[in-house]
Amino acid sequence: MKSEFIELPILAQRALGAFTQISLRWPKTHPAPLPGELLRLHDGSLLYPMLHTHSGQLEALSSCVQAESSLKLAGSTGERINLVPSQPALILADGIALATLIHLCSTRRQTPASTLALYQLTEPLPFRPQPSRFLLDGMPDGVIAAIPLLEDWGIPSRLCHSQDQAGCFEGSLDELVSLLPHPPECQIICLTNGQ
């Protein structure tokens, strides 16, 4: 009986806070996952695609370290997220949905409309926050902590934390969003509670 699974060789793994970032060799014959799509493995566990490179490598987040040298892809799940490039976007995420937030932002790097990413941090931190280079209207004073990768891409971001974390908004994503102005045509994407 022929296997229905696609073998994905693991190139590297590293801890990213409470998650594991996995670099996979992606087959050229298989379309790359789109933002919002999750990868379902043979055991039912999920991978959250983060970045796909033209060299056939896929970066994804997992909730655990993988013991094998390759993974067996059974299919995909989730719904593709389509953002209108000409409209501003506000993307909210927490937990492992950081991967989907990054995936979405990677598609917004060259769009004419603004994008703002807000992420709810939890311990252990998945990255080292850095002060943002972008001033944002309506942002509370002192809320300057940002996601370094998005800063490099020219996409403003801010972080929330339930406790006093330097540069972060002390509170929830909902509390921060309620303080911010956003245009009526703004697309709001909520990726909270693991999507």
The confidence score (pLDDT) of residue 194 equals 44
Average the pLDDT over 41-50 and give the result. 93
**Residue 54 DSSP SS3:** coil
Domain ranges in the chain are 6-77, 89-191
* Token reading at 161: 């934390």
The confidence score (pLDDT) of residue 131 equals 96
Q: For 1-36, give the DSSP string.
A: -----EEEEEEEEEEETTEEEEEEEPPTTSPPPPTT
Average the pLDDT over 8-30 and give the result. 92
The confidence score (pLDDT) of residue 193 equals 67
Out of 3.30.2390, 3.40.50, 3.30.365, 3.10.450, which CATH number does the structure's domain 89-191 have? 3.40.50
* Cβ proximity of 46 and 55 under 8 Å: no
The confidence score (pLDDT) of residue 28 equals 87
The confidence score (pLDDT) of residue 195 equals 43
Q: Is residue 130 scored above 90 in pLDDT?
A: yes
| Global confidence as pTM | 0.91
Average pLDDT, whole number, for the chain?
91
Q: What percent of the chain has pLDDT over 70?
A: 97
The confidence score (pLDDT) of residue 30 equals 87
The dihedral over CA atoms of 22, 27, 30, 36, expressed in degrees to the nearest 10, equals 10
The confidence score (pLDDT) of residue 126 equals 86
Out of 2.40.160, 2.40.30, 1.10.3470, 3.30.300, which CATH number does the structure's domain 6-77 have? 2.40.30
The confidence score (pLDDT) of residue 163 equals 85
* Token reading at 91: 């993307």
Q: Is residue 120 scored above 50 in pLDDT?
A: yes
Q: Is residue 186 scored above 50 in pLDDT?
A: yes
The confidence score (pLDDT) of residue 1 equals 38
* Token reading at 15: 């801890």
